[in-house]
Structure 1
Amino acid sequence: MELRQLQYFVKVAKKQHVTQASEELHIAQSAVSRQIHQLEEELGVNLFVQKGRNLQLTPVGKLFLNRVESIFSDLDRAVSEVHEFLDPNVGVIRIGFPHSLGMNLLPTVVASYKKERPGVKFRLKQGTFTSLIRDVMSGEIDLAFISPFPDSHDYVAGELLLTEELYAILPKHHPLAGESVIRLEQLKDEPFVMFSEGFSLQTIVLDACKKAGFVPNLSFEGEETDTIRGLVAAGMGVSLLPEMASTGSGPLQPARLQLLEPRVTRTIGLIRRKGEKLPPVAEGFRAFLLGYFKGE
């Protein structure tokens, strides 16, 4: 079954006349009749019956027409989506991000870009370090903000965007809450509220505590910065959070202190599939981000 057979079939069904259909298609009448006949033979049914000088759809022909029109509608939509996807001004950007960037950085850069290209759409997907790399590799997303930024990888490449400092967050009634700067070692006897296993921030905090000479006492685990901040503010422990995620707008907020020894940071980068050209709409956003973080 060929696409042109279906196109001829739809045109004949609409015109109810082979001659009129062939004139609109700019195809010889015999060629249209032959294609319709071959289609009926392949299906094993009669799609039309002669009624006077016109052709009328049989019941099964009406059923087939509905399905074929649905197929053409989906095909037209698919072509439109491809053109839209490739258009840097109205396409769709599929981008992944870790939760800790979803409250500040991501909304800020998306809003800034939308001012330049209001027709562009964003399809967002949140994930962990591992899942974001996997989704970029599989083509599920075009770009991903990621932390820490991988120095080298066999299947993804990208650019480092910024290095962000982590702060200690403590309950406001904590004896150290009034300090402006503390050493991480001063929290060695405190219960820690951390991100769950699989989140890169847990690894960063564990490594920092190891450098400070202790293994933290884990009291609670969470998957969202709001939860961790709330638990700390409620007196359930202490934690380390990136600067962008260490403050919130709710009524219950922890104290935030700068860490001096060791200074704890995380890298944030933008990754894409290695060796592949991005769609123009995604490449436009990537170029914007590189300029944005360079202050251009």
Structure 2
Amino acid sequence: MELRQLQYFVKVARKQHVTQAAEEMHVAQSAVSRQIHQLEEELGVQLFVQKGRNLQLTSVGKLFLCRVEGILTDLERAVNEIHEYLDPEKGEIRVGFPHSLGIYLLPTLIASFRKHYPNVTFRLRQGTYNSLIRDVMKGEIDLAFISPFPEKHSHVTGDLLLQEELYAIVPQGHVLAESKTIRLEQLKEDSFVMFSEEYSLRSIVLEACSKAGFVPRIGFEGEETDTIRGLVAAGMGVSLLPEMALTEISVLQPVKVRVVEPQVTRSVGMIQRTGEKLPLVAEVFRKFLLDFMATKYLKGEDTE
């Protein structure tokens, strides 16, 4: 059994398509098919079944995938540890993040960190709340920015970074656009532009509306803060967004208004796998992050 066979197997399992897997790995489709066939012959089992144009894992294929992913993750970690041992400031940090934190916070942190550690590289993965926790648990990323911060979780632990305020956003010309502050119930007759169900900001907004005594009427849904902001600016409804998601200025811009009743916030944190020591370079980044948040970001100092 060869390492290449295992790598091809995992890629095909994730893509559910030999051609797409081959294109992503920049190899011939026939080479991928041949390696998968040899792997199945060596194991004496069928790992995939054809379903339409896609390949699906068999029951034993799913079992094998879980083990192989762990093996490849451990191997990758071992290679990284060797590189870190030779030069701790030349490692790679695997970081996950939700879209709303990738607009301002993450780029600001990485830019500041790389001024001190210019040879460190980052592998970034965007995801939802549940997918980020899953990726940390599986060891596919070292650290993940996450919101809301899971105070108690069996498999991940971490550090609370900040509590961020959410603002109401309304179109230009809205009856409340000139207000300095509003009560959330003042938006109960408006149509809301909401995040899709898998995004944690949706549940935060729904809970806030519940506290204000109403169920929001959802007119449109989106998956990124840019989409939500643009739809509101276009007059398609109102919404609530974190302050960090409103830093970018575009041609089509909604009006942000502070909500005072109830005040709406979200917790933002950084998580890692419970009971596992971080790679050296990731631990350096984690400590830098905590110092940065305590001494610069939260105090609004210049990050240069």
- Give the structure-1-normalised TM-score: 0.72
Provide closer, same or farther for how the CA distance between residues 147 and 272 of structure 1 changes in structure 2, counting only shifts above 3 A: same
Q: 1:208 to 1:78 in 2, by over 3 A?
A: closer
Structure 2 Cα separation of the partners of residues 248 and 219 of structure 1 = 24
The Cα of 1:85 is off from its aligned counterpart by 4.7
Distance 1:244 1:78, change over 3 A: closer
Partner of 1:115: 115
Question: Which residue of 1 is the match for residue 183 of structure 2?
Answer: 183
* CA shift for structure 1 position 82: 4.3
Tell me what 1:174 maps to.
Answer: 174
TM-score where L is the length of structure 2: 0.70
| CA deviation vs aligned residue, 1:16-72 (integer Å, no higher than 9, x gap) | xxxxxxxxxxxxxxxxxxxxxxxxxxxxxxxxxxxxxxxxxxxxxxxxxxxxxxxxx
Give, in whole Å, the separation in 2 of the partners of 1:242 and 1:85.
36
With over 3 angstroms needed to count, the CA separation of the structure-2 counterparts of 1:92 and 1:212, relative to structure 1, is same
In the alignment, what sits opposite 1:206? 206
Q: Give the structure 1 partner of residue 130 of structure 2.
A: 130
Q: Does 1:250 align with 2:229?
A: no
Query: Contact 1:247 / 1:253 at 8 angstroms: preserved in 2?
Result: no
- Per the alignment, in what secondary structure is the counterpart of residue 89 of structure 1? helix
Aligned to 1:83: 82
> For 1:131 and 1:278, how far apart are their aligned partners in 2?
20
Query: 1:229 is aligned with what amino acid?
Result: R
Question: In structure 2, how many angstroms separate the alpha carbons of the residues matched to 1:213 and 1:134?
Answer: 34
**Percent of pairs with identical residues:** 63
Structure whose alpha-carbon radius of gyration is higher: 1
**Structure 2: tracts of 5 or more residues without a match:** 1-75, 297-304
Q: CA deviation at 1:84?
A: 2.4
Segments ≥4 residues shifted beyond 6 Å: 77-80
Note the residue ranges of structure 1 that are not aligned, 5 or more in a row: 1-76
> What corresponds to 2:63 in structure 1?
none
Aligned to 2:54: none
For residue 260 of structure 1, what is the aligned residue in structure 2? 260
Q: How many residues align?
A: 220
Distance 2:270 2:173 in 1: 39
Report how far residue 88 of structure 1 moved: 3.0
1:231 corresponding residue in structure 2: 231
| Aligned equivalent of 1:28 | none
Rounded to whole Å, the distance in 1 between the matches of 2:236 and 2:99 is 22
> 1:230, 1:254 within 8 Å by CA — same for their partners in 2?
yes
